[in-house]
Structure 1
Amino acid sequence: MASIRTETTIDASPEDVWEALRAWEEPHVRLVPGFLTDTRMDGTDRIVTFFNGVTVREVLVTLDDTTRRLVWSIVDGPYSHHNGAAQVLLDADGTTRFVWTTDLLPDAAAERTKAMMEQGTATVRRTLETARSAA
Protein backbone atom coordinates (compact mmCIF):
# COMPACT_ATOMS: atom_id res chain seq x y z
CA MET A 1 0.00 0.00 0.00
CA ALA A 2 1.36 3.39 -0.99
CA SER A 3 1.47 6.15 1.63
CA ILE A 4 1.88 9.76 0.50
CA ARG A 5 2.40 12.89 2.59
CA THR A 6 2.47 16.53 1.59
CA GLU A 7 2.70 19.54 3.85
CA THR A 8 3.04 23.27 3.64
CA THR A 9 3.31 26.28 5.90
CA ILE A 10 0.47 28.78 5.58
CA ASP A 11 0.69 32.38 6.73
CA ALA A 12 -2.76 32.32 8.34
CA SER A 13 -4.13 31.35 11.73
CA PRO A 14 -4.85 27.68 12.46
CA GLU A 15 -8.45 28.70 13.24
CA ASP A 16 -8.92 30.20 9.77
CA VAL A 17 -7.28 27.25 8.02
CA TRP A 18 -9.37 24.79 10.03
CA GLU A 19 -12.60 26.66 9.24
CA ALA A 20 -11.84 26.30 5.52
CA LEU A 21 -10.83 22.63 5.81
CA ARG A 22 -13.83 21.59 7.90
CA ALA A 23 -16.27 23.14 5.38
CA TRP A 24 -17.00 19.62 4.06
CA GLU A 25 -19.75 20.77 1.70
CA GLU A 26 -17.77 23.47 -0.13
CA PRO A 27 -14.06 22.69 -0.58
CA HIS A 28 -14.27 23.95 -4.16
CA VAL A 29 -15.12 27.40 -2.74
CA ARG A 30 -13.31 27.66 0.62
CA LEU A 31 -10.22 25.47 0.31
CA VAL A 32 -9.16 24.56 -3.23
CA PRO A 33 -10.99 26.64 -5.85
CA GLY A 34 -9.85 25.70 -9.33
CA PHE A 35 -8.34 22.41 -8.13
CA LEU A 36 -11.89 21.25 -7.39
CA THR A 37 -14.51 22.72 -9.70
CA ASP A 38 -17.68 21.37 -8.07
CA THR A 39 -19.00 19.63 -4.97
CA ARG A 40 -22.42 17.97 -4.75
CA MET A 41 -23.74 16.47 -1.55
CA ASP A 42 -25.48 13.08 -1.41
CA GLY A 43 -26.47 12.72 2.23
CA THR A 44 -23.19 13.13 4.11
CA ASP A 45 -21.11 11.94 1.15
CA ARG A 46 -19.69 14.50 -1.20
CA ILE A 47 -19.13 14.06 -4.90
CA VAL A 48 -16.25 16.25 -6.03
CA THR A 49 -15.12 17.14 -9.52
CA PHE A 50 -11.45 17.89 -10.12
CA PHE A 51 -10.06 20.39 -12.63
CA ASN A 52 -9.30 17.51 -15.03
CA GLY A 53 -12.92 16.28 -15.05
CA VAL A 54 -12.39 13.29 -12.74
CA THR A 55 -15.30 12.84 -10.31
CA VAL A 56 -15.11 10.81 -7.08
CA ARG A 57 -17.40 10.09 -4.13
CA GLU A 58 -15.90 10.85 -0.73
CA VAL A 59 -17.21 9.55 2.58
CA LEU A 60 -16.53 11.58 5.73
CA VAL A 61 -14.82 9.35 8.31
CA THR A 62 -13.81 11.85 11.01
CA LEU A 63 -14.15 15.58 11.56
CA ASP A 64 -12.35 16.37 14.82
CA ASP A 65 -12.46 20.00 15.96
CA THR A 66 -10.13 19.31 18.91
CA THR A 67 -7.24 17.97 16.83
CA ARG A 68 -8.25 19.92 13.69
CA ARG A 69 -8.17 16.71 11.69
CA LEU A 70 -10.42 15.64 8.81
CA VAL A 71 -10.43 12.06 7.49
CA TRP A 72 -12.23 10.81 4.40
CA SER A 73 -12.30 7.84 2.04
CA ILE A 74 -12.84 7.73 -1.71
CA VAL A 75 -15.34 4.93 -2.30
CA ASP A 76 -16.26 5.48 -5.95
CA GLY A 77 -13.24 6.33 -8.01
CA PRO A 78 -9.96 5.01 -9.38
CA TYR A 79 -8.75 3.30 -6.16
CA SER A 80 -9.40 -0.11 -4.66
CA HIS A 81 -8.53 1.51 -1.30
CA HIS A 82 -8.21 5.19 -0.38
CA ASN A 83 -7.95 6.86 3.01
CA GLY A 84 -7.09 10.55 3.17
CA ALA A 85 -6.45 12.77 6.18
CA ALA A 86 -5.67 16.46 6.53
CA GLN A 87 -4.61 18.17 9.72
CA VAL A 88 -4.01 21.77 10.75
CA LEU A 89 -1.20 22.40 13.25
CA LEU A 90 0.17 25.54 14.93
CA ASP A 91 3.87 26.09 14.26
CA ALA A 92 6.12 27.72 16.87
CA ASP A 93 6.40 30.92 14.81
CA GLY A 94 2.62 31.40 14.78
CA THR A 95 2.09 30.17 11.24
CA THR A 96 0.06 27.11 10.36
CA ARG A 97 1.27 23.77 9.10
CA PHE A 98 -1.16 21.94 6.79
CA VAL A 99 -0.46 18.19 6.49
CA TRP A 100 -2.22 15.91 4.00
CA THR A 101 -1.66 12.14 4.02
CA THR A 102 -3.14 9.43 1.84
CA ASP A 103 -2.90 5.65 1.95
CA LEU A 104 -4.01 4.00 -1.27
CA LEU A 105 -4.16 0.99 -3.54
CA PRO A 106 -3.18 0.21 -6.20
CA ASP A 107 0.42 1.25 -5.70
CA ALA A 108 0.59 2.14 -9.40
CA ALA A 109 -1.65 5.15 -8.69
CA ALA A 110 0.82 6.65 -6.18
CA GLU A 111 2.87 8.82 -8.55
CA ARG A 112 -0.20 10.39 -10.19
CA THR A 113 -1.87 10.87 -6.80
CA LYS A 114 1.22 12.48 -5.28
CA ALA A 115 1.35 15.02 -8.12
CA MET A 116 -2.34 15.83 -7.56
CA MET A 117 -1.81 16.17 -3.80
CA GLU A 118 1.15 18.51 -4.30
CA GLN A 119 -0.96 20.67 -6.60
CA GLY A 120 -3.86 20.60 -4.12
CA THR A 121 -1.61 21.50 -1.19
CA ALA A 122 -0.19 24.47 -3.10
CA THR A 123 -3.76 25.57 -3.89
CA VAL A 124 -4.70 25.40 -0.19
CA ARG A 125 -1.76 27.63 0.74
CA ARG A 126 -2.39 30.13 -2.06
CA THR A 127 -6.15 30.31 -1.37
CA LEU A 128 -5.84 30.84 2.38
CA GLU A 129 -2.95 33.29 2.21
CA THR A 130 -4.84 35.31 -0.41
CA ALA A 131 -7.96 35.30 1.79
CA ARG A 132 -5.87 36.48 4.76
CA SER A 133 -4.29 39.36 2.86
CA ALA A 134 -7.70 40.42 1.51
CA ALA A 135 -9.19 40.56 5.02
Structure 2
Amino acid sequence: MASVIREVSIDAPAERCWALLGDFATGPQRFAPGYVIGSRLTEPGERLVTFATGDVVRERLIALDDQARRIVWAWTGDAIQPLHNNSSMQVFAHGPDRSRLVWIHDVLPDELVTGLASAMDGGLPIIKQTLEAHANQALDNEPCPT
Protein backbone atom coordinates (compact mmCIF):
# COMPACT_ATOMS: atom_id res chain seq x y z
CA MET A 1 0.00 0.00 0.00
CA ALA A 2 1.31 3.42 -0.94
CA SER A 3 1.00 6.50 1.25
CA VAL A 4 1.23 10.21 0.65
CA ILE A 5 1.99 12.32 3.71
CA ARG A 6 1.92 16.10 3.62
CA GLU A 7 2.49 18.54 6.47
CA VAL A 8 2.16 22.30 6.56
CA SER A 9 2.54 24.98 9.23
CA ILE A 10 -0.44 27.28 9.54
CA ASP A 11 -0.47 30.73 11.11
CA ALA A 12 -3.74 30.12 12.91
CA PRO A 13 -4.86 28.55 16.20
CA ALA A 14 -5.62 24.83 15.97
CA GLU A 15 -9.20 25.25 17.19
CA ARG A 16 -9.96 27.73 14.39
CA CYS A 17 -8.48 25.37 11.80
CA TRP A 18 -10.50 22.50 13.22
CA ALA A 19 -13.72 24.49 12.87
CA LEU A 20 -13.38 23.99 9.09
CA LEU A 21 -11.41 20.75 8.87
CA GLY A 22 -13.75 18.90 11.23
CA ASP A 23 -16.87 19.70 9.20
CA PHE A 24 -17.41 16.46 7.28
CA ALA A 25 -20.47 17.66 5.37
CA THR A 26 -19.29 20.91 3.78
CA GLY A 27 -15.73 21.28 5.08
CA PRO A 28 -13.92 20.45 1.82
CA GLN A 29 -15.68 23.24 -0.07
CA ARG A 30 -15.11 25.64 2.83
CA PHE A 31 -11.40 24.91 3.42
CA ALA A 32 -10.44 24.45 -0.24
CA PRO A 33 -12.69 26.90 -2.13
CA GLY A 34 -12.17 26.87 -5.86
CA TYR A 35 -10.32 23.55 -5.63
CA VAL A 36 -13.43 21.81 -4.31
CA ILE A 37 -16.62 23.26 -5.79
CA GLY A 38 -19.16 21.11 -3.99
CA SER A 39 -19.47 19.01 -0.85
CA ARG A 40 -22.73 17.71 0.57
CA LEU A 41 -24.07 14.85 2.61
CA THR A 42 -25.94 12.23 0.61
CA GLU A 43 -26.87 10.34 3.78
CA PRO A 44 -25.54 10.33 7.34
CA GLY A 45 -21.79 9.69 7.24
CA GLU A 46 -21.61 9.80 3.42
CA ARG A 47 -20.71 12.80 1.27
CA LEU A 48 -20.30 13.65 -2.38
CA VAL A 49 -17.32 15.89 -3.16
CA THR A 50 -17.00 17.68 -6.52
CA PHE A 51 -13.62 19.03 -7.56
CA ALA A 52 -12.95 21.91 -9.95
CA THR A 53 -11.47 19.33 -12.35
CA GLY A 54 -14.94 17.81 -12.69
CA ASP A 55 -14.05 14.69 -10.69
CA VAL A 56 -16.76 13.58 -8.28
CA VAL A 57 -15.89 11.32 -5.36
CA ARG A 58 -18.19 9.62 -2.87
CA GLU A 59 -16.68 9.41 0.62
CA ARG A 60 -17.59 7.70 3.90
CA LEU A 61 -16.75 9.13 7.31
CA ILE A 62 -14.61 6.65 9.25
CA ALA A 63 -13.72 8.64 12.39
CA LEU A 64 -14.20 12.14 13.75
CA ASP A 65 -12.30 12.96 16.95
CA ASP A 66 -12.85 16.54 18.11
CA GLN A 67 -10.48 16.17 21.05
CA ALA A 68 -7.59 14.97 18.85
CA ARG A 69 -8.74 17.27 15.99
CA ARG A 70 -8.59 14.33 13.58
CA ILE A 71 -10.93 13.28 10.78
CA VAL A 72 -10.68 10.07 8.73
CA TRP A 73 -12.61 9.19 5.58
CA ALA A 74 -12.51 6.71 2.70
CA TRP A 75 -13.49 6.87 -0.95
CA THR A 76 -16.35 4.56 -1.75
CA GLY A 77 -16.72 5.12 -5.46
CA ASP A 78 -17.52 7.30 -8.46
CA ALA A 79 -14.62 8.92 -10.38
CA ILE A 80 -11.89 6.90 -8.68
CA GLN A 81 -12.41 3.38 -7.38
CA PRO A 82 -9.30 2.16 -5.55
CA LEU A 83 -9.04 -1.29 -4.01
CA HIS A 84 -8.34 0.40 -0.68
CA ASN A 85 -8.38 4.03 0.37
CA ASN A 86 -8.07 5.84 3.66
CA SER A 87 -7.44 9.54 4.23
CA SER A 88 -6.95 11.57 7.37
CA MET A 89 -6.35 15.15 8.40
CA GLN A 90 -5.18 16.11 11.85
CA VAL A 91 -4.32 19.54 13.18
CA PHE A 92 -1.87 20.04 16.06
CA ALA A 93 -1.41 23.19 18.13
CA HIS A 94 2.05 24.78 18.02
CA GLY A 95 1.61 27.56 20.53
CA PRO A 96 -1.50 29.72 20.85
CA ASP A 97 -1.52 31.09 17.29
CA ARG A 98 0.13 28.41 15.12
CA SER A 99 -0.79 24.93 13.99
CA ARG A 100 0.54 22.04 11.98
CA LEU A 101 -1.75 20.17 9.60
CA VAL A 102 -0.89 16.56 8.76
CA TRP A 103 -2.73 15.06 5.77
CA ILE A 104 -2.25 11.35 5.04
CA HIS A 105 -3.66 9.35 2.15
CA ASP A 106 -3.19 5.55 1.94
CA VAL A 107 -4.20 3.84 -1.28
CA LEU A 108 -4.15 0.61 -3.30
CA PRO A 109 -3.15 0.07 -6.03
CA ASP A 110 0.16 1.87 -5.61
CA GLU A 111 -0.15 3.36 -9.11
CA LEU A 112 -2.74 5.84 -7.81
CA VAL A 113 -0.23 7.50 -5.47
CA THR A 114 1.31 9.78 -8.13
CA GLY A 115 -2.02 11.39 -9.00
CA LEU A 116 -2.97 11.66 -5.32
CA ALA A 117 0.33 13.32 -4.44
CA SER A 118 -0.16 15.82 -7.24
CA ALA A 119 -3.72 16.57 -6.12
CA MET A 120 -2.67 16.99 -2.50
CA ASP A 121 0.22 19.26 -3.52
CA GLY A 122 -2.24 21.38 -5.49
CA GLY A 123 -4.78 21.57 -2.69
CA LEU A 124 -2.51 22.10 0.31
CA PRO A 125 -1.53 25.74 -0.42
CA ILE A 126 -5.22 26.60 -0.87
CA ILE A 127 -6.09 24.90 2.43
CA LYS A 128 -3.28 26.75 4.24
CA GLN A 129 -4.32 30.12 2.81
CA THR A 130 -7.99 29.53 3.61
CA LEU A 131 -7.36 28.40 7.19
CA GLU A 132 -5.15 31.42 7.86
CA ALA A 133 -7.70 33.81 6.34
CA HIS A 134 -10.54 32.14 8.28
CA ALA A 135 -8.65 32.56 11.56
CA ASN A 136 -7.85 36.21 10.85
CA GLN A 137 -11.45 36.93 9.85
CA ALA A 138 -12.73 35.27 13.02
CA LEU A 139 -10.28 37.29 15.11
CA ASP A 140 -11.36 40.52 13.40
CA ASN A 141 -14.98 39.76 14.31
CA GLU A 142 -14.31 39.16 18.00
CA PRO A 143 -15.18 41.97 20.38
CA CYS A 144 -12.22 43.75 21.94
CA PRO A 145 -11.65 42.84 25.58
CA THR A 146 -12.59 45.59 28.00
TM-score by length of 1: 0.93
Report matched runs for 1:86-97 at 5 Å: 86-92=89-95, 94-97=97-100
CA–CA separation in structure 2 for the residues paired with 1:72 and 1:33 = 19
Which runs of 5 or more residues in structure 2 are unaligned? 141-146
Cα drift, residue 39 of structure 1: 1.2
Cα drift, residue 132 of structure 1: 2.7
Residue type of the partner of 2:121? Answer: E
CA–CA separation in structure 2 for the residues paired with 1:63 and 1:130 = 24
Cα drift, residue 131 of structure 1: 2.1
Name the counterpart of 2:112. 109
Name the counterpart of 2:51. 50
Distance 1:62 1:81, change over 3 A: same
- The structure 2 residue matched to 1:81, chosen from 69, 80, 84, is 84
Number of aligned positions between the proteins: 135
TM-score by length of 2: 0.86
Alignment RMSD (CA, Å): 1.4
CA–CA separation in structure 2 for the residues paired with 1:112 and 1:7 = 18
CA–CA separation in structure 1 for the residues paired with 2:61 and 2:20 = 15
Name the counterpart of 1:125. 128
Contact 1:27 1:33 in 2 (8 A): no
CA–CA separation in structure 2 for the residues paired with 1:109 and 1:119 = 16
Residue type of the partner of 1:56? Answer: V
Which runs of 5 or more residues in structure 1 are unaligned? none
CA–CA separation in structure 2 for the residues paired with 1:102 and 1:61 = 13
Cα drift, residue 119 of structure 1: 1.6
CA–CA separation in structure 1 for the residues paired with 2:11 and 2:76 = 33
Cα drift, residue 60 of structure 1: 0.2
CA–CA separation in structure 2 for the residues paired with 1:29 and 1:116 = 15
Residue type of the partner of 1:54? Answer: D
Q: Which has the larger radius of gyration?
A: 2
CA–CA separation in structure 1 for the residues paired with 2:8 and 2:130 = 13
When structure 1 is superposed on structure 2, of 86-95 and 51-60 the one drifting more is 86-95
Contact 1:27 1:36 in 2 (8 A): no
